[in-house]
Structure 1
Amino acid sequence: MTIYNSNYFRSGLKIIFDKEPYVIESSQFIKPGKGQSFVRVKLRRLLTGKLIDKTFKATETLQSADIIEVAASYLYNNRKFWFFINKKTFEEISAKEEVLKDVKKWLVDLTNCTLMLWNNEVISVTLSNFVELKVIETSPSLKGDSIGTTTKKAKLITGASIRVPLFIKEGEIIKVDTRSGEYVARVR
């Protein structure tokens, strides 16, 4: 493992702190007029996503985290584990349900994603910013109903419910932003 001196902490660097993987969000080297220099760092815990502030002396060191990012496609789930296939090696990789958090409501067969592995275990699943999903249920819009609400509720093939414009009908495919869960466009 590589050892990093706190003077070399940079954004995006993945380190081991308190025996867990963290990623450095930002770092600021400070050399006061008197006393020892130090580094003020914002760390994001990769297992939970929690952000913490920490100050390190300029002489402190930390180990690099052996984080591997793998391009994968979603295959299936058994409600306890979610299974993906590595696009390079074609190995099957399983992830616990709690790792997927809000991502699972956008997954359909062969959805492309990036898996983050630490100690050969999936700690995070990241989707592309946009997915295309089929609308399976929505109420019909009434002609001339544009004065009141301009959106209606729609249920997608994954089971997720979102707000869509009145002109969207059942069976149409729409583009959804996975970060906000909002309707983006109709796919033709």
Structure 2
Amino acid sequence: CIAFQHRKPGKGNTVMITKLKNVSDGRVLERTFQVGFKLEDVRVERRPYQYLYQDPTGYIFMNQETFEQIPIPLHQITGAEFMKEGDIVEVVTDTSDGTILSAEMPVKTVLKITHSEPGVKGNTATNATKPATLETGAVVRVPLFINEGETIQIDTRDGSYLGRVNA
């Protein structure tokens, strides 16, 4: 449950208005429940895993404690386009049956720009941006003053530029 509100209208029964996060796909849902409705608890566990490589079965991760390797399909990984070999992600599993629910990149990551057109001086009165290709192959929008070869910080949730990183 992300948020909830207990509401008693003038007429009618009391209801609970909620915002819930779907643990299997990460979507946020708004639901209204009548008094007395019971939800089933889901116990989840978060563990650090290291991204090793990609193969036909999915992305292969290694448990940092047991060194067990597991495949995780692309659709279960948030921020996968910003992931490079060796990155640590948080894998969320259902403790009742061991099912992998998701893998989450850290909110911020640091990547190098492999290709970017030179910025054109002049039109800087507005917040001008240009496309830049990162070492993972992802394309993000960066300010005109950022050049090829520089290292930048990215928000993995939406791919937005956060700032330049000094080496």
Query: Is the strand fraction higher in 1 or 2?
Result: 1
Residue correspondences, number: 161
Please list every run of 5 or more consecutive structure 2 residues that lacks an aligned counterpart in the other structure: none
Provide the identity percentage: 30
Tell me: CA distance 1:179–1:172, structure 2 relative to 1, closer, same or farther (3 Å). same
Q: CA deviation at 1:140?
A: 2.2
> Does residue 104 of structure 1 match 2:71?
no
Deviation string 1:76-107 (CA, Å, 9 cap, x unpaired) is: 1115411112222222222112212x511110
Counterpart for residue 14 of structure 1: none
Alignment root-mean-square deviation, CA: 2.5
TM-score of the superposition, structure 2-length normalised?
0.81
Counterpart for residue 114 of structure 1: 90
Q: In the aligned structure 1, how far is the partner of 2:103 from the partner of 2:13? A: 40
TM-score of the superposition, structure 1-length normalised?
0.73
> Which of 16, 27, 50 is residue 73 of structure 1 equivalent to?
50
> Which of 152, 162, 166 is residue 140 of structure 2 equivalent to?
162
> Does residue 186 of structure 1 match 2:164?
yes
Deviation string 1:106-162 (CA, Å, 9 cap, x unpaired) is: 1011212211112323222222121111111111234xx132673221100111111
Letter in 2 for 1:81: G
> Does residue 132 of structure 1 match 2:139?
no
1:6-155 to 2 correspondence within 5 Å? 24-30=1-7, 37-48=14-25, 49-58=27-36, 60-100=37-77, 103-118=79-94, 119-142=97-120, 145-147=121-123, 150-155=128-133
Letter in 2 for 1:146: G
